[in-house]
Structure 1
């Protein structure tokens, strides 16, 4: 059995996991950008604007930790969750003060992590999920919200990276609504430009 095949009875592999060694360039690229002082904080600036001071933030699919680190630097209490062991190791090396849990999104609960004022799920996490798990993931993220909490999501609906899926906006909205969420806002960038075909930024909150 190859590493890209799930064990019998195991949870389905995410599209990210199927990519295997082909994903290695992601962490290296962002590590080099951070080291060079390049501005990679766009998602964090918007997230910060959605939050009170000293808020609890969950970075779902935190990768090598760049968004988590930027939010922690702005005074928030951040927990990252990331299933890729290599990215978790890179995060702990690059940002040793961050709390990061090595886990799939569906592998964590409110009983383990507590509740959050904002869940950040950016960097194309939604289009790298295991096939058919989108609604379960959105429902799990909803279950991790504190009263008044929201979810910030960003991904390429079309023309995404290798091994990712096409995720039309109308399908994402249907999945969000089926998961007990409503769309409060949609933009085309983290600088709040109008909606684009090639990128979507969403602010979601629980249905009343």
Structure 2
């Protein structure tokens, strides 16, 4: 399962420690109260073929993966944080979650995927200077006609997160062999803004290319 030729630095999420411990519990409470927490999953579902093979990187407490499974997709969830995996198991006991970071996933063992989701601010909590490597791994995990959905706050707002400007992300994605197909300001497809970005990407040699 692992493919880590270089040691992985600690993620910003890990370094934030206890400051992020309420995330899983907060969303579990919202699920229990019947709140709508499926915004990301609805967009991913709309972009994927029926019964798609989908990878959810940084699946957190499992809400996106669970919603996609309920829509008939074949989902592989991966979350390195033990506390979030425990919350996921408690909230969605039928959802299997791998304990791997993105860079520890071996494409030859787990890929390819019709769609890779990297939502919930995962990109702004990666280890320092690993963003481009993670995007390269996303490309390697995609089927030739696959797509990725990536969403994050452009400006650091929460404990331990980084500011990741849009132009820097596009440069990293391009260097990783990914092409920006769409950019939105939310999972409900609002116009792009300076606060939050939702990107749809495909491999540079994807169906939109000659």
Whole-Å separation in 2 of the counterparts to 1:93 and 1:199:
30
67, 71, 80: which one aligns with 1:74: 71
* Cα displacement (A) at 1:205: 0.4
Whole-Å separation in 1 of the counterparts to 2:73 and 2:7:
35
1:44 aligns to 2:46 (yes or no) = no
Listed as ranges, the gaps of 5+ residues in structure 2 are 1-5, 206-210
| Greater than 6 Å deviation, 4+ residue runs | none
106, 110, 131: which one aligns with 1:109: 106
1:27 aligns to 2:8 (yes or no) = no
Whole-Å separation in 2 of the counterparts to 1:101 and 1:60:
10
Whole-Å separation in 2 of the counterparts to 1:19 and 1:31:
21
Whole-Å separation in 2 of the counterparts to 1:12 and 1:121:
19
Q: Which residue of 1 aligns with 2:132?
A: 135
Q: Which residue of 1 aligns with 2:14?
A: 17
SS in 2 for 1:186: strand
* Cα displacement (A) at 1:53: 0.7
SS in 2 for 1:83: coil
Q: Could you tell me whether the CA contact under 8 Å between 1:181 and 1:205 is conserved in 2?
A: yes
* Cα displacement (A) at 1:114: 2.4
Q: Which residue of 2 aligns with 1:201?
A: 198
* Aligned-pair Cα RMSD in Å: 1.1
Q: TM-score, normalized by length of structure 2?
A: 0.93
1:162 aligns to 2:159 (yes or no) = yes
* Cα displacement (A) at 1:10: 4.8
1:179 aligns to 2:176 (yes or no) = yes
1:88 aligns to 2:82 (yes or no) = no
Higher relative contact order (CA 8 A, sep 6+): 2
Q: Could you tell me whether the CA contact under 8 Å between 1:153 and 1:201 is conserved in 2?
A: yes
* Cα displacement (A) at 1:93: 1.9
Q: Which residue of 2 aligns with 1:3?
A: none
**Which string of whole-angstrom CA distances, capped at 9 and with x for unpartnered residues, describes residues 118-147 of structure 1?**
000000000000110000000001101112
SS in 2 for 1:185: strand
* Cα displacement (A) at 1:157: 0.4
145, 149, 156: which one aligns with 1:148: 145
Q: Could you tell me whether the CA contact under 8 Å between 1:78 and 1:99 is conserved in 2?
A: no
Listed as ranges, the gaps of 5+ residues in structure 1 are 1-8
Q: Could you tell me whether the CA contact under 8 Å between 2:144 and 2:203 is conserved in 1?
A: no
